[in-house]
Structure 1
Amino acid sequence: MSKDQLYALDNLVNDSVKAPSEHLTNRQLRVRVVVILISWFCLMALLAGCASVGTGAQNGAEADTSGAGKNGSRNVIRIGYQKGNTLNILKVNGNLDKRLKEAGYEVEWKVFAGGNFLLEALSSGSIDFGHAADGSGVFAQAGNKPFVYVGNDHPNPEGMGIVTYLESGVQSIADLKGKKLAVGKGGNHHYLAVLAIEKAGLKLEDVQFVYVKDASEGRAVFETRQVDALGSWDPFFAAVQTDLEPMTLTDGHGYSPNRTFYYANEQFAKEHPEQIRTILEEIQVSDEWANTHKDDVSKLLSETQGIEKAAIELAVKRRTYGVELFNSEIINAQQQLADTYYRIGLIPNPIKVADRMPLDAPWAVQGPVRSK
């Protein structure tokens, strides 16, 4: 009830009390007393209800940033994943859920449409652990979000590339001068395009970048010849290759390792290093299974993502699954990406990625991740 409505009810009661009663009958007086009592009881109940609702809303607005979430007496680790990637496979396999249950934890899985959304949830404390592309970590650090890198997948340079249609007249990256190239701004394939264009001796302004919001829009403008070339990433890159049979100008080889990273909420990482180690070990278990069961993985991911199996098979075939812990090579490659994003204006300030990639973290000091 609004403040105005409460005032109206209060005035109604006051008016009843102040009204002259010398001319009222006994029956009318009794009715007036009953009305006054009912009105005051209603007013007190409404005020109590408003106070209760206000307290609940205030508590609900407080984000849980205390590390692993708690649901009653249960310890819950909240993991964010994207369809089609390694954590999706891990979720289906169920080995992590089983191992953490033995340690007294339950896993709550949350799916996200993209890495930037996932890292935003991670930083706010809505999830504890997740995975996203290399660029997502750079954007999050530039925004001073509270997270740390905890590991990464094997490089996958073949999992992104730049294509053109056969009739475009474009035979190499250098031929993109004056042409239109569609990319998702800040994506791994955008980074690839920047490096490839500059290596070809062109300036970035020599190419007309057409920024698209997602892979489907990129494919649409490419298929309808609104652009001359398209940058994309797996499995959408593989789908373009299998469906449209374009000319591939380059993939990531010689430019970018194209790593997917594992991230943890900063406070969760401080309070639960053993659980992070467990998660990484069980990802490795799942990844080893994936490397020897690629037909099963292709079937699973095709059903999950709604993409033709031929495209998924190509994406899975050219990928080697496995978890890596940080070293100077990985840090340097990620720093080069961050420096490039700052140079071309994608992030507002320079960052030092090593600050978020601890080499001596408790989950990393035992050496390479091995399956149990």
Structure 2
Amino acid sequence: MQFRLVLFLVFSFYVALISGCSSTSSGAHNSDSEKAEKVIHIGYQKFGTLNILKADKSLDEALEKKGFSVRWTEFPAGPQLLEALNVGSIDFGHTGEAPPIFAQAANAPLVYFANKPPNPNGEAIVVPKDSPIKNLEDLKGKKVGLNKGSNVHYLLVKALEKAGIQYDEIETAFLPPADARAAFEKGEIDAWVIWDPFLANAEVTANARIIANATDLAANREFFFSSRSFAEKNPDVLEVIYEEVEKTEEWVSENPKEAAEFLSPEIGMDVATLELTLTRRSFGLEKVTKEIIDDQQKIADQFYELQLIPKQIKVEEATIK
């Protein structure tokens, strides 16, 4: 009887110990979750306002006052950035007009938050300086390099439409900017559809010749996005980001040379390239409007007609009501 009592007490102590450990472990997990919720993961590309905010730490400092720390991740282009948002690796980022169309068609939980004004001079179709290609009509039957699903994808669609060329009457080579630059210089593609600052760099250092930019073809807006869950839980954090982006946009517009000199070592591009980029760049920031969403819907509808996306989408579903 005494032995059973001792055994019962030992067993009770063991259960309590396990329960305590389990409780402690759970508590630690909850604590980690709470800490994780206080981190915002921001995706950015090679060039843009977010680059400056990352480099000068102003956004980190502003969000720290809200109890958030920032984790920054660089992406080669918008499609890759939104893939990361789709799988939950980032909470916020920026891309052009086309990537969110492809991402929404892939059921990414994104929401449009803000956008910059149109910037048609910031993307173009280029050829080597001595290329026999003189205009858009000459692209028929040629091999054109571009980053699939990026803003320049829509520019190519509209440029071919203007020239009376069917989309399947050219050969597309889907390449990220670095690979496309290499293919361009080796003569492996006849033309390259690309955006700034890669466009400016190709003009400055690779003798690229523009045959058409996006003027009268595509608006080439830059958008800022968030995951839906983050946007719904942290509207105040998004407002802080908006304010910081807006302030930085104003500073760059007033100090383009200084901004180019600041960014040059940060992104590994020469000052001349960045000055050219900034002199033709649009500045400003605004909240996404119905008119902007309607413009995005037109892009989505055309991509569906060309079977570039697998299903029709309603862009307005990627907004916060």
TM-score by length of 1: 0.73
37, 61, 71: which one aligns with 2:35: 71
Matched, 1:226 2:185: no
174, 179, 190: which one aligns with 1:212: 174
Partner residue of 2:243? 281
213, 221, 226: which one aligns with 1:259: 221
Whether the 8 Å contact between 2:96 and 2:151 is mirrored in structure 1 is yes
Give distance in 2, aligned partners of 1:106 and 1:237. Answer: 33
Counterpart of 1:183, as a letter, is L
Give distance in 1, aligned partners of 2:246 and 2:312. Answer: 33
Partner residue of 1:157? 120
Deviations 1:261-312 (A, max 9, x none): 1111111111111221121111101111111121222123221222222212
- 1:179-328 alignment, distance < 5 Å: 179-209=142-172, 211-328=173-290
Partner residue of 2:100? 137
Q: Secondary structure at the match of 2:34?
A: strand
Instruction: Give how far 1:115 is off.
Output: 2.5
Counterpart of 2:34, as a letter, is K
- Identify if the C-alpha distance between structure 1 residues 122 and 221 changes in structure 2 by more than 3 Å, giving closer, same or farther: closer
Partner residue of 2:9? none
Partner residue of 1:116? 79
- Identify if the C-alpha distance between structure 1 residues 112 and 232 changes in structure 2 by more than 3 Å, giving closer, same or farther: closer
Instruction: Give how far 1:159 is off.
Output: 1.1
- Identify if the C-alpha distance between structure 1 residues 147 and 228 changes in structure 2 by more than 3 Å, giving closer, same or farther: closer
Give distance in 2, aligned partners of 1:127 and 1:216. Answer: 23
Instruction: Give how far 1:164 is off.
Output: 2.0
Partner residue of 2:59? 96
Whether the 8 Å contact between 1:133 and 1:261 is mirrored in structure 2 is yes
Identity between Structure 1 and Structure 2 (%): 39
Counterpart of 1:260, as a letter, is E
Identify unmatched segments of 5+ residues in structure 2.
Answer: 1-17
- 1:2-13 alignment, distance < 5 Å: none
Stretch deviating more after TM superposition (313-322 or 104-113): 104-113
- Identify if the C-alpha distance between structure 1 residues 117 and 231 changes in structure 2 by more than 3 Å, giving closer, same or farther: closer
Give distance in 2, aligned partners of 1:103 and 1:177. Answer: 54
Deviations 1:197-250 (A, max 9, x none): 1111222222232x1321122222222223322211111111111123333111
Give distance in 1, aligned partners of 2:76 and 2:126. Answer: 24
- Identify if the C-alpha distance between structure 1 residues 204 and 126 changes in structure 2 by more than 3 Å, giving closer, same or farther: closer
Whether the 8 Å contact between 1:123 and 1:145 is mirrored in structure 2 is yes
Whether the 8 Å contact between 1:70 and 1:76 is mirrored in structure 2 is no
Instruction: Give the RMSD, CA atoms, in angstroms.
Output: 2.7
Counterpart of 1:120, as a letter, is E
- Identify if the C-alpha distance between structure 1 residues 205 and 309 changes in structure 2 by more than 3 Å, giving closer, same or farther: same
108, 130, 133: which one aligns with 1:170: 133
Q: Secondary structure at the match of 2:224?
A: strand
Stretch deviating more after TM superposition (308-317 or 92-101): 92-101
Instruction: Give how far 1:342 is off.
Output: 1.5
Give distance in 2, aligned partners of 1:346 and 1:266. Answer: 25
Instruction: Give how far 1:162 is off.
Output: 0.6
Give distance in 2, aligned partners of 1:243 and 1:95. Answer: 32
Partner residue of 2:301? 339
- Identify if the C-alpha distance between structure 1 residues 237 and 350 changes in structure 2 by more than 3 Å, giving closer, same or farther: same
Partner residue of 1:33? none
Give distance in 2, aligned partners of 1:219 and 1:187. Answer: 16
Give distance in 1, aligned partners of 2:35 and 2:162. Answer: 53
Give distance in 1, aligned partners of 2:39 and 2:171. Answer: 48
TM-score by length of 2: 0.83
- Identify if the C-alpha distance between structure 1 residues 219 and 103 changes in structure 2 by more than 3 Å, giving closer, same or farther: closer
Give distance in 2, aligned partners of 1:249 and 1:154. Answer: 23
Give distance in 1, aligned partners of 2:185 and 2:112. Answer: 37
